[in-house]
Structure 1
Amino acid sequence: MKKSKKFFIRICLSTGILASATLLTACFGTPAKHVKANYKVTAEAIPDYQSKNAPISSYWMPDKFLEWSAENDKDLVYNQSRVPLTKRISPDKLSPSNQNQNKKTKIVALSMMNSQTSGNPSRGTTKFESYTFDYWQYIDTLVYWGGSSGEGIIVTPSADVIDEAHSNGVPVLGTIFLPPKEYGGKVDWVKTMLKKDEQGQYPFASQMVKVAKTYGFEGWFINEETQGLNADDAANMKALIQQVKKEDSSLQIMWYDAMTKDGKVDWQNQLNDQNATFVQDKAADAMFLNFWWTQNNLADQKLLEKSNLYAKNHNIDPYNIYAGIDVQAKDVQTPVKWNLLEKGNQATQTSIGLYAASATYTNASNWDDFQNRESAFWVNQKADPRQVDHSVNESWTGLSKYVLEKSAISGNEFNTNFNLGNGYNYFKAGQKISEMDWNDRSLAGILPSYRWIIDNEGKNKISPSFDFANAYNGGNSLKFMAEHLDAGKSSNITLFASDLKIAMGAKFSVSMRSDQALKVSAILELANGQKVSIAGDKSLTENWSK
Structure 2
Amino acid sequence: MSERPTRRAVLAAGAAGLAAGALPAAAASAGAAEDLQPYASYWFPDGLPSGTPAPGVTWRSLSAWRERDDADLPFNRATVPLAPRFTPPPPNATARPDQARVCALAAFAPTSGNPSQGSASADFYALSHWAYLDELVFWGGSAGEGLVLAPNAPVVDAAHRNGVRVLGTVFLPPAAYGGQLRWTHDLVRQGPDGAFPLADKLVEVARAYGFDGWFLNAETGGGDARLGARMRDFVAYLRARGASGGRALRVTWYDAMTVSGDIAWQNELNERNAPFFRAADGMFLNFGWSRSGLVSSGELARSLGRGPFELWAGIDVEARGWDTPVDWDALVPAGGPHLASYGFYRPEWTWRSLPEGGRAPAAFHARDDRFWSGAALDPACPESGPWRPAAATVVDRSTLIALPFATTFNTGHGLGWYDRGRRVAGDAWNHLGLQDRLPGRRWVVHTAGDRPFVGFDFADAWRGGSSLLVTTQAAGAATVELYAARLPLSEATVVELAHRTDPGSAAVRVEVALALEERPDRFAYLPAGTLPAGGRGWTTATLRLGPLGRAGGTARVLGVRLTAPDGGGVRWRLGELAVHDAVPAAPGRPRAVTVSASTRNADGTAALRLRWDPPAAAGTGRRAPGPVRHYELRQALPGGGFRFLGGTCGHAYYVPALRRTAGEAATRVDVCAVDELYSVSAPASVMFRW
Matched, 1:166 2:160: yes
Matched residue, 2:173: 179
RMSD (Å) for aligned C-alpha atoms:
1.8
Measured in 2, the distance between the counterparts of 1:307 and 1:202 equals: 30
Taking the TM superposition and a 5 Å limit, the aligned residue runs for 1:58-207 are 58-63=41-46, 64-89=61-86, 91=87, 94-103=88-97, 104-114=99-109, 116-207=110-201
Number of aligned pairs? Answer: 480
In 1, the alpha carbon distance for the partners of 2:33 and 2:123 equals 16
Structure 1 distance, partners of 2:198, 2:125, is 31
Match of 1:266 in 2: 264
- Paired residues of 2:316 and 2:346 also in contact (CA < 8 A): yes
Segments of structure 1 that go 5 or more residues without pairing to the other structure are 1-47, 294-298
Residue 349 of structure 1: CA displacement? 0.3
Moved more, 523-532 or 352-361: 523-532
Q: Equivalents in 1 of 2:154, 2:252: separation in Å?
A: 22
More deviation, 534-543/318-327: 534-543
Task: Give the Cα–Cα distance (whole angstroms) in 2 for the partners of residues 101 and 277 of structure 1.
Answer: 32
Please state how far the C-alpha of 1:434 moved relative to its aligned partner. 1.2
CA contact (8 A) 1:422 1:441 kept: yes
Deviation of 1:460 (Å): 4.5
| Match in the other structure for 1:536 | 528
| Structure-1 residue corresponding to 2:497 | 510
Check if 1:243 corresponds to 2:233: no
> Does the 8 A contact of 1:461 with 1:484 survive in 2?
no
Whole-angstrom distance in 2 between the partners of 1:469 and 1:82: 30
CA contact (8 A) 1:377 1:397 kept: no
Task: After TM superposition, give the deviation of residue 345 of structure 1 in Å.
Answer: 4.4
Aligned pair partner of 1:446 in 437, 461, 474: 437
- Secondary structure at 1:81 match in 2: coil
Tell me how far apart the structure 2 counterparts of residues 232 and 532 of structure 1 sit (CA, whole Å): 66
In the TM superposition, 1:335-484 aligns within 5 A as: 335-345=325-335, 347-365=337-355, 366=358, 367=360, 369-391=363-385, 395-457=386-448, 459-484=449-474
**Given the two structures, how large is their TM-score scaled by the length of structure 2?**
0.68
1:105 Cα shift?
1.2
Specify the code of the residue in structure 1 equivalent to 2:43. Answer: W
Deviation, 1:309, is 1.8
What corresponds to 2:604 in structure 1?
none
Which sits farther off after the overlay, 198-207 or 335-344?
335-344
Is the Cα–Cα contact under 8 Å of residues 218 and 252 in structure 1 kept in the other structure? yes
The equivalences for 1:309-324 within 5 A come to: 309-324=299-314
Asked if 2 retains the 8 angstrom alpha-carbon contact of 1:108 and 1:143, the reply is yes
Contact (CA 8 Å) 2:509, 2:529: kept in 1 or not? no
Cα contact 1:128–1:423 (8 A) shared by 2: yes
Please report how far the alpha carbon of residue 376 of structure 1 lies from its aligned counterpart in structure 2 after TM superposition.
Answer: 2.4
Give the AA of the match of 1:170: V
Q: Greater relative contact order: 1 or 2 (C-alpha under 8 angstroms, separation 6 or more)?
A: 1
* Residue identity opposite 1:495 in structure 2: L
Residues 131 and 536 of structure 1: CA distance in aligned 2, closer, same or farther (over 3 Å): same
Q: TM-score, normalised by structure 1?
A: 0.85
1:37 maps to: none
| Structure 1 CA distance for aligned equivalents of residues 255 and 184 of structure 2 | 17
Deviations 1:507-540 (A, max 9, x none): 1111101134322111211146563321115646
- Residue equivalent to 1:9: none
- Report the secondary structure of 1:310's partner residue: helix
1:209–1:244 contact (8 Å) kept in structure 2? yes
CA distance in 2, matches of 1:503, 1:49: 57
CA–CA separation in structure 2 for the residues paired with 1:156 and 1:110 = 14
Quote the offset at 1:72 in angstroms: 0.3
Q: Identity across aligned pairs (percent)? A: 34
Structure 1 residue ranges, 4+ long, deviating more than 6 angstroms after superposition: none
- Give the drift of 1:343: 4.0
Q: For each residue in 1:16-56, what CA deviation from the matched residue of structure 2 results, as whole angstroms up to 9, or x when unmatched?
A: xxxxxxxxxxxxxxxxxxxxxxxxxxxxxxxx997111111
Q: Say which SS state the counterpart of residue 514 (structure 2) adopts.
A: strand
Tell me the secondary structure at the aligned position of residue 288 of structure 2. helix
Q: 1:380 & 1:421 partners in 2: Cα distance?
A: 23
- Measured against aligned partners, the alpha-carbon deviations of 1:123-158 in whole angstroms (never above 9, x if no partner) come to 100111111112111111100001000000000111
Change (3 A) 1:55 1:100: same
The alpha-carbon distance between structure 1 residues 240 and 364, as it changes in their structure 2 partners (threshold 3 A), is same
How far is 1:255 from its partner? 0.2
Name which one, 1 or 2, has greater alpha-carbon Rg: 2
Deviation of the 1:423 alpha carbon? 1.1
Q: Which amino acid aligns with 1:166?
A: H
SS of residue paired to 1:315: coil
One-letter amino acid of the counterpart of residue 259, structure 1: M
- Deviation of 1:198 after TM superposition, in Å, equals 2.5
Counterpart selection for 1:497 from 484, 496, 501: 484
Residue of structure 2 in register with 1:23 after alignment: none
Alpha-carbon shift at residue 388 of structure 1 (Å): 2.9
Q: Indicate the SS of the match to 2:453.
A: strand
User: For 2:292 and 2:32, how far apart are their aligned partners in 1?
Assistant: 51
Structure 2 spans left out of the alignment, 5+ residues? 1-30, 47-60, 541-690
Instruction: Tell me how far 1:313 sits from its aligned partner.
Output: 2.4
Equivalent-residue separation in structure 2 for 1:355 and 1:135 (angstroms): 15
The 2-side partners of 1:272 and 1:156 are apart by: 30
User: Structure 1 residues 81 and 230, CA, compared in 2 at 3 Å: closer, same or farther?
Assistant: same
Aligned to 2:297: 307
- Distance, in Å, in 2 between the alignment partners of 1:348 and 1:229 is 35
